[in-house]
Amino acid sequence: GYPVWYFRGVKTEGVDPTTGALKASDFSGDGVINSSDFTYIGSAIPDILYGATINLEYKNFDFTLFLQGQGGNDIMMAINRNDRKTFNKLAVFFEDRWQKPGDNAKYPSSAEQVNNTDLFRSDMVIMDGSYMKIKQIQLGYNLPKSLMRTLGITGLRVYGSLDDFFTFASYPGMDPETSATDVNGIGVDRGFFPTSRKLMFGLSLKF
């Protein structure tokens, strides 16, 4: 059986090298591509979720590394639909598009990408959503106890942190994480704003 949440749409057979048209599988055999030809084309449910935290200390310094990720899930690239306000084409759809007869292209011609709605509901917009993110790298320094006694405090720590700075993924969209966690359509990338990168500095003081 299929997972609870999965993508159902048009199965493709590549691009016609002569015309640049999308070749869709006609499972019903009626010569028309419609909902009766829809089938399983991917799933947003990951096969694996993982995470790790590394804490290190050396003298007065401390270091924290936190990472997380998931694998085996798909993302439906929906920002390239011409019926959406976020209509935009990623470079990948143009870099490997059909341009002239004889081209062995991954994606159909530019005109086909705009006018053929079968593309927007096909496996051509289903992409690997696996990713690994380094969510936080933090380096801290604790003031020596002898100096804290002199200052009349019990603790002082300064730190710098890089949050959400590094993402490792093959997904060509902006952020595989925001696409994977949309509660209204898990795994559907509608052009949401990506997770912001944050450079932070802080001070913790105890009396």
Q: What is the pLDDT of residues 162-193, one digit of tens each?
A: 999 999 999 998 899 876 556 667 899 887 78
> Which residues fall within 8 angstroms of residue 141, CB to CB, at 6 or more apart?
60, 61, 62, 157, 158, 159
Token pair 């199965």 in the structure block, residue: 11
104, HSE (Cβ side, Cα atoms, 13 Å): 0
30-66 per-residue burial string, b: 16 or more CB within 10 A, e: under 16 = eeebeeebbeebbbbbbeeeeeeeeeeeeeeebebeb
N residues, the chain: 207
What average pLDDT score do residues 80-98 get?
Answer: 78
pLDDT tens per residue across span 135-163 = 999 999 998 888 877 888 888 899 999 99
Residue 132 · residue 168 · CB < 8 Å: yes
Token pair, residue 114, equals 């705009």
pLDDT band at 73 (very low <50, low <70, confident <90, very high): very high
The per-residue pLDDT for 180 is 57
Instruction: Tell me which residue has tokens 């952020």.
Output: 175
Closest CA to 163 of 202, 133, 142: 133
Question: Starting at the edge strand that comes first in sequence, how are the strands of the sheet with 198-206 ordered?
Answer: 48-58, 61-71, 131-142, 155-169, 198-206
> Going along the chain, which residue ranges are E strands?
7-9, 12-15, 22-24, 39-42, 48-58, 61-71, 74-77, 126-128, 131-142, 155-169, 188-189, 198-206
Burial of 83 (0-12, 13-18, 19+ CB in 10 A): exposed
Query: In the prediction, which pLDDT does 184 show?
Result: 63
Residues 105, 119: Cα–Cα separation, whole Å? 14
Question: What pLDDT shows up at residue 122?
Answer: 94
pLDDT at 66: 98
Q: pLDDT confidence of 49, banded at 50, 70, 90?
A: very high
Predicted local confidence at residue 181, as pLDDT: 59
- Among residues 79, 89, 70, 62, which one has the least CA distance to residue 159? 62
pTM (two decimals): 0.84
Greatest mean pLDDT among 4-18, 26-40, 54-68, 170-184 lies in 54-68
Residue 47's pLDDT is 94
Q: Look at residue 87 and tell me whether its pLDDT is greater than 80.
A: no
